[in-house]
Amino acid sequence: MTELDHLAVIAPDLATGVAWVRDVLGVEPPRGGSHPQMGTHNHLLRLGDGVFLEVIAVDPDAPQPAHRRWFGLDDRAAVERHWHAGRHLRAYVARCTGVADTIGARGSTFGAPMRLTRGDRGWTFGVRPDGELPAGGALPHLMDWGERGTPAPTMQDFGLTLRELVVETPDPDAVHAALDAIGLAAKPAIRRADAVRLSAAIDTPQGVRTLT
Q: Give the pLDDT score at 147.
A: 87
Total Cβ atoms within 10 A of residue 143: 24
**Identity of the amino acid at 132:** E
Which pLDDT tens digit goes with each residue over 11-61?
999 999 999 999 999 999 999 999 999 999 999 999 999 999 999 999 999
Q: Report yes or no on whether pTM surpasses 0.85.
A: yes
CATH number of the domain bearing residue 81: 3.10.180.10
Q: Over the stretch 109-140, which tens digit does the pLDDT of each residue have?
A: 999 999 999 888 899 999 999 999 999 999 99
Q: How far apart (Å, rounded) are the C-alpha atoms in residues 62 and 24? A: 29
pLDDT for the residue numbered 148: 86
What are 58's strand-pairing partners?
A: 40
- Percent of the chain predicted with pLDDT > 90: 96
Residues in the chain, overall count: 212
User: In whole numbers, what is the pLDDT of the chain averaged over residues?
Assistant: 96
Kindly calculate the radius of gyration of the chain based on its CA atoms and give it in whole angstroms. 16
Range(s) of the domain holding residue 124: 3-211
d(CA 30, CA 132): 26
Q: Structurally, how many domains does the chain consist of?
A: 1
